[in-house]
Amino acid sequence: MERVITTGLLAYGMSGKVFHAPFIDAHPGFKLYAVTERHQKQAASDYPGVTSYNSVDDLLDDQQIELVVINTPNFTHFDFAKKALQKGKHILVEKPFAATAAEAQELFDLARSVGKQVFVYQNRRWDSDFTAIKKVLEEGTLGKLSEVHFRFDRYRASIGPKTFKEEPVAASGLQYDLGPHLLDQVISIFGKPLHFHKVLGKNRINTQVDDFFSIHLSYPDSVNVFVHANMLVTDIQPAFVVHGTKGSLIKYRADVQEEQLLKGIKPTEETYGAEEKGKEALLTSLNSEGQKEQVYIPSAKGNYLPLFEAVYDALTKGKPYPVEESQILAQLNILES
């Protein structure tokens, strides 16, 4: 590699262990140098030689660290990102990047003023199911689109243990948990909407935050896009439904990366990212005689490693990072409305 980026993780909980450390370790352009572990010290057993700091400030004070991954609770993202930039670090920030577009703009402006780069971790652009849908849309197979649905269903009736998601603090609730994933996928394909309308709901017993949202996004040429998430769905619905003048496309959520990473499967292993058989997208179209035809479209493997490759290329080669500032600002304007 041209050079190695010395990297620190601000937390080594689930996200650090699952979504960041395995990829930083797998990519030859990064060195997993340090983590923050305020309580249990586990990182060194997984990655021998890694430095474990007791506090975020201690890690940020380490001058050897070039890139900091901000994977702490949502409401801390802005403050830690600002502090890291002021300490001369590049930053990779988990979703939601910030609670408001104004906070996001301040961070982007600060980064430019101190000569550092900001990257937003929108990993689900590299999900196998989404990339399969995106490919079909980019090929124009469905003709002129009329109706597009992206949704993320779960069944979790109880109040979760992560208070930053369940209490009415900044960037809490389901819309800030799953909304950034869904909106980023939509905006990465269709851009900023002309108009949007959002509905929030609170349906679990004793919930203090929204556990349902539905957002209607209007685009030119009568393209209507809907994003939904619901924590009380016992019969999981298709994650992607797209209708156009030449056909319809339906696909269930099938990306296996999180499940595999939780089991300790590495992103470099042969089976990593491969969807289960029977999870293919279903394309229904009309032939030249007006008869309905159906074909199953398999997905390429999912892999979040290209996200880290994009960060590396931006830092070492000056290539544009695919998650753009304007896209994040558009996303947050919708979430905070």
Domain map (residue ranges) of the chain: 5-123+306-318, 128-301
For residue 157, give the amino acid letter: A
For residue 61, give the amino acid letter: D
The two domains 5-123+306-318 and 128-301 share their CATH topology (first three levels equal): no
Tell me how far apart the alpha carbons of residues 217 and 196 are, in angstroms, rounded to a whole number: 4
pTM: 0.96
Contact of 46 with 285, CB cutoff 8 Å: no
As its CATH architecture, domain 5-123+306-318 has 3-Layer(aba) Sandwich (3.40)
CB count in 10 Å sphere of residue 196: 17
Residue-level pLDDT, tens digit, the chain, 337 residues: 679 999 999 999 999 999 999 999 999 999 999 999 988 899 999 999 999 999 999 999 999 999 999 999 999 999 999 999 999 999 999 999 999 999 999 999 999 999 999 999 999 999 999 999 999 999 999 999 999 999 999 999 999 888 888 999 999 999 999 999 999 999 999 999 999 999 999 999 999 999 999 999 999 999 999 999 999 999 999 999 999 999 999 999 999 999 999 999 999 999 999 999 999 999 999 888 888 999 999 999 999 999 999 999 999 999 999 999 999 999 999 999 9
Q: Around 153, how many Cα atoms within 13 Å sit in the side-chain half-sphere?
A: 13
Domain spanning 128-301, CATH class? alpha beta
E-strand ranges in the chain read 5-9, 30-36, 51-53, 67-70, 90-94, 118-121, 145-153, 195-201, 212-219, 223-230, 240-244, 247-251, 281-286, 292-297
Contact of 314 with 320, CB cutoff 8 Å: yes
